[in-house]
Structure 1
Amino acid sequence: MTALAVTRATVARVFRDRTALFFMVLLPVAIIVVIGVTVSGFDQFRVGLVPAARTGPVARELVSGLTGAPGLRTRTYDSAADARTALRRAELDAVVVVPDGLDAAVRDGRQVTVPVLVEPSGSAGHAAVSSVSAVVAGHAARLQAAAFAAGETGRSFDDALALARDTDRAASPITVRGETVNGRSDYLPLGYSYSTPTMLVLFVFINALAGGAAIVQTRRTGVYARALAAPVSARSLVLGETIAYLLLALVQSLLIVAIGALAFDVDWGDPLAAGVLVAVWALVGTGAGVLAGALFRTPEQVHAIGPALGIGLGMLGGCMWPLALVPDWLRTVGYAVPHAWAVEAWTTLLSRNGDLAAILRDLGVLAAFAAVLLTLASVFLRRRLTAGSGT
């Protein structure tokens, strides 16, 4: 019960400290929300649309199909010159120019070409052409069906086109699903699903280190010394502080997970595996934070060194960029820090549809990091407390 009393006192003290609360909870959440808004649509192709000068139902339907395509993020331009300028500035991946006289050409049975403009060196543009071609092909299929129906039944083209649209909506389409057997991806998903897991790994660790400043301040003010004068053992103090900082790390992790899932539709993979991974990483962060509180002499040292150390380890461990992109020697060095194993586990869950069994090796390594850090933190903090110096 004594350790739990220490835990309650520490948690209450942190939540009363507005500065600590801001840096531990509000700032990481604000940064992640900004990143989420910034990268929204990152997995879509940016396509400029230049409508025809004389539009009819056929041209309007083509524009509507391109605008509503899930893989395209479209923007309409008044002229082809403006769209070309945006393409040269890399504001767009491709430009679709709807030809003038499209409706008349279709009714006359003439072949129509829809120009798609891309930069020669832009790989995204050539990939965007495939998405645009799929939309245009579906539109062309309805036009062909309408032309056939008009010729066979004697209906007007507009009536036959309306019939083709109704038939297309009523029919059950045949979908093709591609699956790579034993496929592996070394990258997290694009967009917010990439930034959220890596930011969780980064911020939980950094804020745990920053939280060590509170332990240093408590030591310096003599609170621990007064507690030891009462019937409270050093072991209870260490255990209580460790549980408190573990709870804070878990709260921060769950907040990030909830914001990602509810606000940005992030899929965290297998729930059991994700939950275990979050808990183990919180233990790693807790061990690092309590160890920082035991080793540093002043809160200023923690604030100066802790964030820089956390960011450096995060960069080395793949929180800023995938380790698959760095040289082999740097990738090997990266796996010397726990961040790389955490990011690797998230990659397995989110990009390879892994489950708990698939990340057991990563969890085992992280658990070993946590055990070492927590053991060192306990030993050094107890020495600090029992030395009686308070510094």
Structure 2
Amino acid sequence: MELRRFLRDRSNIFFVFIMPLLLVLVIGSQFGGDGSQGRVVVVGESTDLRDALVTEMEDDDVAVTFADADDAREQLARGRSDVAVLVSEDDAAAFTAGDTADIEVVLGSQAGAQATFQRVRTAMQAVATERNQLSALIDAGAEESAAATALAAAAETVNPPSLEVTNVDDISEAFAGSSGFDVGAAAETLLFVFLASLAGSATLIQARRHGVMSRTLAAPVSTGMAVAGQATGRFAIAVFQGAYIMIGTAVLFGVDWGNIALSGLVLVVFSLVAAAGAMVIGSVMDSEGAAAGVGIGTGLILAALGGCMVPLEIFPDSLQRIAHVTPHAWAYEAFAEIQRRGGSLTDILPQLGVLAAMAAVLLALGAWLLRRSLTRAL
């Protein structure tokens, strides 16, 4: 019933269905996108020069897209690409003739633009080296097709030098193998699940005001059971909100949630905490508007402190210890263990245990506060 009423409320369309995915898109685009080694937009028709450059960049794990000159500059201005490479017809003709080609490269203002430019430069040098080798063989009297075949065979038989990079920085190592979308999706899931639950604490206030809770407690049920019944509606909304974000980000942005069963378990336990917290607020406040304001404010503060707005790994040690008074920090760590390190159930048991304990304490507190408020009303 609660979930049905929640979905029928048109005011929830933007905040429940659009805003979470929009924030994940913004965070993912700003902090690493799809995990590639940069984003390059290429301008120009398909020629030997353009195709050779694209092949080299894609082999280096650079994300390459194509556009005309105006669209390319707009992508740079909006931060959708790091570097634009403009290959003109004159450049392509000069390359085919064995002459020097002056390719225009435009850098964006993003933090990773310089690093991406170095990869573009490396690709250009590789293409130029291959062209020079081909020209040298042709000048020595070899047929062009035979020279190209010989160079391709040599490239397959010679093992290129390899370079192994080891992160010594703790923060870099913590985020190794994950994209900005992965980190942002987990954080926004926790943020919006908690907000959706706490903002709905007004339903318990309405139930108290209209005498629903008094009539319920007149039946042979305990206060804890009554609170649990009310919390079930908030729990259903929280799970729906979290599942929607998880499925939406996986489909639209390719977010890797790791073991989906374990990620779902973390969502369920965290939703229990959020639903129980909503019952506490609904038991102590008498105004729906005030309860919604307190719920949203509390949700935002806990999310900020728990690593949902700035990654928990960036916090100093003292602030990380303080952050663990929030359920968000424990759920954030559980998601990180599953997504980035392929954690098992055993690895996240401490986080699940703490979250379950928080849910139990909040539910018991909500039952006591509800009984107290109803007794005072009588």
Question: What is the TM-score of this pair, normalised by structure 1?
Answer: 0.74
| Residue equivalent to 2:360 | 371
Q: CA deviation at 1:346?
A: 1.9
Q: 1:27 aligns with which of 15, 28, 32?
A: 15
Matched, 1:60 2:55: no
* AA at the equivalent of 1:376: L
- SS for the counterpart of 2:179 is coil
| Inter-partner Cα distance in structure 2 for 1:91 and 1:257 | 23
RMSD: 4.3
The verdict on how the C-alpha distance between 1:371 and 1:86 changes in structure 2, with shifts beyond 3 A counting, is: closer
What is the alpha-carbon distance in structure 2 between the residues aligned to residue 174 and residue 284 of structure 1? 54
How many Å apart are 1:130 and its aligned residue?
3.9
Q: CA deviation at 1:94?
A: 3.5
Identity of aligned residues (%): 27
Which residue number corresponds to residue 333 of structure 1? 322
Cα distance change of structure 1 residues 106 and 296 upon mapping to structure 2, 3 Å threshold: same
Cα distance between partner residues in 2 of 1:161 and 1:68: 24
**Partners of 1:244 and 1:144 in 2: CA distance:** 70
Displacement after TM superposition at 1:63 (Å): 5.5
1:75-104 Cα deviation digits (max 9, x unpaired): 65659xx96x99799786335455855544
Q: Distance in 1 between matches of 2:164 and 2:371?
A: 57
Deviation (angstroms), 1:290: 1.2
Q: Residues 216, 142 of structure 1: CA spacing in aligned structure 2 closer, same or farther, 3 A cutoff?
A: same
Indicate whether 1:362 and 2:365 are aligned.
Answer: no
Deviations 1:166-219 (A, max 9, x none): 989x99x99979686999644493333222111110111111111211001100
Other-structure match for 2:213? 224
Report what 2:333 is aligned to: 344
CA distance in 2, matches of 1:264, 1:56: 28
User: In the alignment, what sits opposite 2:266?
Assistant: 277
Whole-angstrom distance in 2 between the partners of 1:146 and 1:163: 10
Residue pairs, 1:68-217, within 5 angstroms: 71-74=62-65, 78=69, 93-96=82-85, 98=87, 100-101=90-91, 103-104=93-94, 107-108=97-98, 124-133=112-121, 135-136=123-124, 139-140=127-128, 143=131, 146-147=134-135, 154-155=142-143, 157=144, 159=145, 185-187=173-175, 189-217=178-206
Structure 1 window deviating more from structure 2 (207-216 vs 135-144): it is 135-144
Change (3 A) 1:153 1:371: farther
Deviations 1:273-308 (A, max 9, x none): 212211211111122111111121221221121101
Contact 2:41–2:66 (8 Å) recurs in 1: yes
d(CA) in 2 for partners of 1:244, 1:223: 15
Asked if structure 1 preserves the Cα contact closer than 8 Å seen for 2:40 and 2:85, the reply is yes
Q: Specify whether residues 228 and 354 from structure 1 end up closer, same or farther in structure 2 by C-alpha distance, changes over 3 A only.
A: closer
Out of 295, 299, 313, which is 2:302 matched to?
313
Q: Give the distance between the partners of 1:299 and 1:177, measured in 2 at CA.
A: 61
Q: Deviations over 1:23-60 (max 9, x none)?
A: 3x762221122234445655353445565xxx893323
- Post-superposition offset of 1:321: 1.0
Tell me the SS of whatever aligns to 1:354.
coil
Structure 2 runs not aligned, ≥5 long: none
CA shift, 1:127, in A, is 1.3
Q: Which amino acid aligns with 1:369?
A: M
Letter aligned with residue 185 of structure 2: T
Q: Which residue of 2 aligns with 1:8?
A: none
Aligned partners of 1:355, 1:284: CA distance in 2, in Å? 22
Amino acid at match of 2:292: H
How far apart, in 1, do the equivalents of 2:339 and 2:91 lie? Answer: 47
- Corresponding residue number in structure 2 for 1:240: 229
- Kept in 1, the 8 Å contact 2:83–2:107? The answer is yes
2: CA distance, partners of 1:356 / 1:281: 15
Normalised to the residue count of structure 2, the TM-score between the two structures is 0.77
Unmatched runs of 5 consecutive residues or more in structure 1: 1-11
Q: State the aligned residue count.
A: 367
Distance 1:207 1:175, change over 3 A: farther
C-alpha displacement of 1:356: 2.5
**Partner-residue secondary structure (3-state), 1:336:** coil
8 Å Cα contact 2:82-2:113 kept in structure 1: yes
Closer/same/farther in 2, CA of residues 231 and 369 from structure 1, 3 Å limit: closer
